[in-house]
A = this chain, B = another copy of it.
Amino acid sequence: MKSDRSAGKVTLADVGRVANVSAITVSRALRKPEMVSPKLRQRIEEVVAELGYVPDPVARALASDRTDVIGVLIPSVTNSVFADVLRGIYSVVEGSPFSVQFGNTRYSVLEEERLLRIFLSQRPAGLIVSGIDQSEASTALLTQARCPVVQIMETGPAPVDMMVGFSHRDAAHDATRHLIDGGYRRIAFFGARMDPRTQRRLEGYTQAVKDAGLFDESLMITTPRASTVELGCQMLSDLLARTQDVEAIFCNNDDLALGVLFECQRRRIAVPDDIGLCGFNDLEMMAVANPPITSVRTFRQEMGRRAAEMVLMRVAGEEVPEPVVDLRYELMARQSTRACEEGRRRRVP
């Protein structure tokens, strides 16, 4: 008699009993059909269907010391940037026998480390982590991990294993150059959250304005708060309360940019004629705003897709031809940064 713990679950042994073969043969028939004679294979398949056998992933994991779970660590579940990445990952994983498990690090390196330990104890098939700023302990854990690891969202000099991202510094630098080239001189920076990637965007901005001799610390507004549209409104209000001498604003992301746009509309500040405006990420709405807002397009779904593909390839034993990928970015120049023909005039003399 079966123990009552198992609650009537159909096991490999049950299938074997009915099909008159051993459990291990059933296991093989399901995992490596070519190793079982056609005759037996068919009989087993029939019994599996008849009994409604479903393999137990937990038992499989314990016995084989591996799972079909790909662990994904992202800093935020609400940020649409990461939602896009997840969509990319799902698009690849959905067609495979693998599944995805996330962890939400909430932009905390310590939380990331804690989650990493938990995930690793679950024998993941692969691991996808965000960014390149892991703690020393996390880096050690990842290096020792006995599964493929992909760092996403960013590129950097020392990949733990594989990597797919882009340079936030370069992207911000180019966006700032775009404003400078458009004739804007007094260019502000609005930054929220100030996570490592935002920091590097700030560096790119700073470099560009310094190189052009346009650096002015009083034009930088940053906050550790998460970015919202409302925050964009407030930042513009704060800046204008301090100085009217602003010609353009580079926002660390599109939420802020949208807030700036709304606030400009309320204050009858013409975009791009009074103030030029550039966002970051190129959310869908940027292209249809009034006016359309210039932004830096990043390939978020593609990052997720590529990362998942890399993991699957390695799990399948294939070699990944390009284990470090820089996906770049694209400056989507729109009406919000159309510079005047004869150079920018200051808004207030």
Residues of A within 8 A of B (CB): 5-7, 54-59, 61-62, 65, 67, 77-78, 80, 83-84, 86-87, 90, 94, 99-104, 117-118, 121-123, 146, 228-230, 233, 255, 258-259, 262-263, 265-266, 284-285, 287-290
Contact A57-B285, Cβ < 8 Å, known A83-B83, A266-B290: no
Q: Which of A117, A229, A255, A263 has the most CB of B within 10 A?
A: A229
Q: Taking CB as reference atom, which chain B residue is nearest A122?
A: B57
CA distance A65 to B101 in the complex (A): 20
A13: min CB distance to chain B, Å: 15
Identify whether the interface residues of A are mostly helix, strand, loop, or mixed: helix
CA distance A59 to B265 in the complex (A): 60
CA distance A122 to B59 in the complex (A): 10
Contact A262-B290, Cβ < 8 Å, known A83-B83, A146-B7, A228-B284: yes
Contact A99-B118, Cβ < 8 Å, known A62-B58, A229-B288, A288-B233: yes
CA distance A29 to B103 in the complex (A): 28
Q: Taking CB as reference atom, which chain B residue is nearest A262?
A: B290
CA distance A266 to B80 in the complex (A): 26
Q: Which of A54, A84, A94, A290 has the most CB of B within 10 A?
A: A290
CA distance A146 to B100 in the complex (A): 23
A87 CB contact (under 8 Å) in B77, B100, B287: B77
Q: Taking CB as reference atom, which chain B residue is nearest A84?
A: B78
CA distance A101 to B124 in the complex (A): 14
A105: min CB distance to chain B, Å: 11
Q: Are B122 and A58 in contact (CB under 8 A)?
A: yes
Q: Are B230 and A288 in contact (CB under 8 A)?
A: yes
Which residues of chain B are within 8 angstroms of A233 by Cβ–Cβ distance?
288
Q: Taking CB as reference atom, which chain B residue is nearest A115?
A: B99
Q: Are A54 and B262 in contact (CB under 8 A)?
A: no
A274: min CB distance to chain B, Å: 15
A54: min CB distance to chain B, Å: 5
CA distance A253 to B33 in the complex (A): 49
CA distance A348 to B177 in the complex (A): 47
CA distance A7 to B57 in the complex (A): 21
A235: min CB distance to chain B, Å: 12
A189: min CB distance to chain B, Å: 21
Q: Taking CB as reference atom, which chain B residue is nearest A5?
A: B65
Q: Are B290 and A55 in contact (CB under 8 A)?
A: no
CA distance A101 to B228 in the complex (A): 27
